[in-house]
């Protein structure tokens, strides 16, 4: 396996980016839903800190992944089995990136407009509170999450459909 991508295969770096993002998201989505159902307590604060730290990590990871993608070829998709298939696959990938960015940015803005300081790892952020905007960004955070769940479901469903119906093992490309 090569380190970087070429026009036919994903390299090691892309594979690490993919599975690290997937692993963190698989923890982060249920953690967010668990968090909102908790009463105020020390444990809740700890879980919220973990949620924010993981969320900001995914944000930076996604930025790095997109910068890397910009300077590295993306392996071509196979020939379409049905019309529009490549377009759907491409759109699915683009919307996955957009959903992750919208969720992380809206989560950060929700906290900032709530009047809370945010440690962004390399610098601190603080802005004037505005509870209406905090509420709006929280709504975006929630809608973003349901959209991401739908996109991930579609993404995994496509891999299964390819295997079952078209006898094509897409997983091999990213493993």
Which window, 56-64, 80-88, 124-132, contacts ligand HEM (CB under 6 A)?
56-64
Contact predicate 25/152, CB 8 Å:
yes
Q: Does 155 bind ligand HEM (CB under 6 A)?
A: yes
Q: How many helices (H) and strands (E) does the chain have?
A: 5, 2
Asked if 154 is part of the footprint of ligand HEM (rule: CB under 6 A), the reply reads: no
Could you give the 3-state DSSP secondary structure of residue 125? strand
User: To the nearest whole angstrom, how small is the minimum distance from the Cβ of residue 56 to ligand HEM?
Assistant: 5
From the number of C-beta atoms within 10 Å of its C-beta (0-12, 13-18, 19+), residue 55 rates as buried
29 touches ligand HEM (CB under 6 A): yes
Contact between 98 and ligand HEM per CB under 6 A: no
Stretch that binds ligand HEM, among 80-88, 101-109, 128-136 (CB under 6 A): 101-109
Nearest to 96 by CA among 53, 143, 151: 151
Smallest distance from ligand HEM to CB 133, Å:
14
| Euclidean distance between CA atoms 111 and 115, whole angstroms | 7
The least CB distance from residue 23 to ligand HEM, in Å, is 9
Q: Does 55 bind ligand HEM (CB under 6 A)?
A: yes
* The two three-digit tokens of residue 161, written as one number: 């459909």
Closest Cα to residue 69, out of 126, 11, 136, 14?
14
CA distance 7 to 5: 7
Residue pair 20/61 in contact (Cβ under 8 Å)? The answer is yes
Per-residue string for binding with ligand HEM, 103-142, x by CB under 6 A? xx--xx-xx------x----------------------xx
Interacting residues toward ligand HEM by CB under 6 A: 18, 21-22, 25, 28-29, 32-33, 35-36, 51-52, 55-56, 58-59, 69, 74-75, 77, 93, 96-97, 100, 103-104, 107-108, 110-111, 118, 141-142, 145, 152, 155-156, 159, 170-171, 173-174
């Amino acid at each position: 396996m090569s380190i970087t991508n070429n026009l036919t295969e994903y390299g090691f770096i892309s594979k690490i980016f993919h599975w690290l993002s997937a692993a963190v998201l698989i923890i982060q989505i249920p953690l967010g839903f668990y968090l909102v159902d908790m009463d105020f307590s020390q444990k809740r604060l700890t879980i919220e800190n973990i949620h924010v730290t993981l969320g900001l990590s995914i944000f930076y990871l996604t930025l790095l992944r997109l910068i890397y993608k910009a300077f590295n070829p993306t392996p071509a998709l196979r020939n379409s089995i049905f019309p529009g298939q490549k377009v759907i696959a491409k759109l699915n990938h683009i919307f996955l990136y957009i959903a992750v960015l919208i969720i992380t940015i809206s989560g950060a803005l929700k906290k900032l407009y709530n009047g809370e300081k945010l440690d962004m790892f390399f610098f601190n952020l603080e802005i004037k509170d505005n509870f209406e905007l905090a509420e709006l960004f929280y709504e975006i955070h929630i809608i973003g999450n349901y959209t991401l769940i739908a996109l991930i479901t579609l993404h995994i469903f496509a891999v299964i459909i390819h295997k079952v119906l078209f006898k094509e093992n897409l997983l091999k490309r990213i493993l």
